[in-house]
A and B are shown apart, each in its own frame.
Chain A
Amino acid sequence: MFKFLSRSIPPLRTQASRRFNHSHKSLVEIEQTNCRLLDVVRNRVDERKTLLEKISQDTSTLDDKVILRRFKELEPIEAAWNRWTSTRQQLEEAVSFLNDSDEAMQQLALEEVESLTSTLESLAEKTFPSLLIPPSTTKHMSALMELKSGVGGSEASLFLADLLRMYQRFADTTSWSVEIVAKNDAEGSGIKDASVEFKGEGAYDTLRWESGVHRVQRVPATEASGRTHTSTVAIVVLPLVEESEMSVDDDLFSMEDIKLEVMRARGAGGQHVNKTESAVRLTHIPTGITVSMQDERSQHQNRRRAFQVLRSRLLDLKLTKEMEERRTTRRNLVKGADRSEKIRTYNFAQGRVTDHRIGLTLKNLNSVLEGDGLHVFIDSIAKHHEESVMADMLDEK
């Protein structure tokens, strides 16, 4: 049907169309550029029709929540598609008047063609993609970032401190609140590891692209011979579930699966001892995930923090699994799951930062470390991800 219609509008390429304002693409161009997209939209509309038939033939499907939800989900796409077809029809009619003997009529038709074409262009390039890409289910979530120094000894710890500062600066430009919830200073200077909470809408969706190994190449301040060292810091960004959203038993785990231990012996304990021994360790038996927490001054606080981290880890596991499942049909995604992968190199000698996932190099290392340049990376990767999702969707059969 599509091809037939495409062929039926040659007038756009005639003399009239040459007078046509070329800031707009022609319908043929729009349909050619977006042909895979339009196929997907049409598939969705067909799917909805099939669902509708099913529902009207068999009323028991009305109780099927999955079917009903899908039916409802597809409604905006069908509406947009209907707008597309009716606009397209109007365009055809308008086109047929482009060669009208009446000059005034021709002019009117031309104006209408122009406006209708621009409507179609916007449908194809903005409306359809926005309706096809599923909205983020993690949009509201805050983030918990864990940084661990890797190879490179004290130089890695120094670099970790630089990265921590970079993210704090970055967060200053947002509405999030930042809190370092755990931190171990390295011998000498620098930070061995740290956990940071970024609280606020969109924090997880923005920062999750920072998960992976960050590599620094520079001459350490302590290096007399001036040799360049390579050190790494591993970052994991987890979704953070706000305490207000928590219940004692939610679908992430059940209390029976938790082993809670206090660390360190306390001798006789009670009145005999007034040392601050507040460290706790949680083990989630089914997954083997353990969380130790000792940065707070009371058992109660450390336990609360530990449960919060456990929830984040379990939620992360769940999201990663869901992403893996979806990925069976999508191959081009920015890899989010493999955290052992080197994602970025900060080269001080050359003053540049390279993100290996998208091959983007910024020549302003300082601006990245000050938090401004980081926006460029994060935005580019998010955009790349969105495009990949779209591309994968278009590949589906």
Chain B
Amino acid sequence: MFTRLLLSLSSTLGRTQASRELKWMQQAIDSRAVTASLDDMVSRRVRGEPLQYILGTQPFGPLNLLTRPPVLIPRPETEHWVMRLAESLSPTAQRPISLLDLGTGSGCIPLLLCKLWPPGSLKAYGVDISPHALSLAQDNAALCGFSRMDGDKSLSTNTFKAVKASFLDHDFLKHGSSVNPPFDVVTSNPPYISWNEYLDLDASVSDFEDPKALFGGPDGLDFYHAIRHLVSREGFLTPSATVALEVGHTQANAVENMMRGTGRFRSTEVWLDPWGKQRTVVARV
């Protein structure tokens, strides 16, 4: 039976990847992380469903995050730049900082920073319009031990809270929101896939992950324009703030120019991902 499953997986994934994924599925069953049978998992995988949804988790840095359709699955490129961002800043419990993550999805970016920075040094917020994303982000926060208790004034741990809001709205965070600027760090992995590219996406992405988390308008840059307006707002960033934005493989220059054009930043740079693609635009006030 195992051989049959391996064969059917191999037909879509190739032999090596198939045996690896089969092993991970078996491990998930052994650790009781999933209730599905190996048979079910393999047939879902053969139909193109992402492994991360089938297993229900994805390791992200030292964290193991929950994944649930249709919320965007955390990517290794994101893991890489967030770990680098964590090393480039050093908040302390004595001088804690605040962070806003735009389009937080699973909450992976703020939660990894909560994990990597010293306890009590970070108060993070995430916004998203998707109720699926908000509930997953809150579940992940609870799983990682960074849930923010209302009225909890203790600063002994880092905290993360996900709030429903659209950063495309003109009055975003303006009226009596529980999330208040200024922010020391603004991060985002906004939807950045363009119209043309959307049609060429692998079915495991386009058929399973939320189009609202992927599709960034005709040229994929719609959300960066919104972010440009936001960070240009008076009092949105602290005087020493850092903005870190993940971008699509061809968008780094355009987004870097946008950030420069605000006149708000002392410096901007582009970070490469592990595969050599320009992946992150980092701007410093």
Contacts and interface: CB of A to CB of B under 8 A. Distances in A.
Interface of A: 183-185, 260, 262, 265-266, 268-278, 294-301
Interface in B60-102: 60-62, 72-73, 75-80, 83
Contacts of A300: 59-62, 79, 83
B139 interface: no
A281 B221 CA distance: 34
Contact of B275 (A265, A274, A276): A265
On chain B, which size bracket covers the interface? Answer: 35 or more
Contact of A271 (B60, B79, B80, B214): B214
Contacts of B205: 271-274
A277 to B, nearest CB: 7
B246 interface: yes
Contacts of B273: 269-270
Contacts of B19: 184-185
A1 B150 CA distance: 86
A294 B191 CA distance: 29
B77 A270 contact: yes
Contact of B201 (A265, A272, A295, A301): A272
A295 B83 CA distance: 21
B248 interface: yes
B260 interface: no
Contact of A299 (B17, B50, B79, B279): B79
B20 interface: yes
A278 B248 contact: no
Given A276-B52, A277-B76, A297 B59 contact: yes
Given A298-B60, A300-B61, A278 B50 contact: no
Contacts of B77: 269-270
Contacts of B78: 270
B238 interface: no
A270 B75 contact: yes
Residue picked from A266, A274, A301, most chain B C-beta under 10 Å: A274
28 contacts: A260-B274, A265-B275, A268-B197, A268-B277, A269-B279, A270-B75, A270-B246, A270-B277, A271-B75, A271-B205, A271-B213, A271-B214, A271-B248, A272-B205, A272-B249, A273-B202, A274-B202, A276-B51, A295-B20, A295-B23, A297-B59, A298-B61, A298-B79, A299-B76, A299-B80, A299-B274, A300-B59, A301-B59
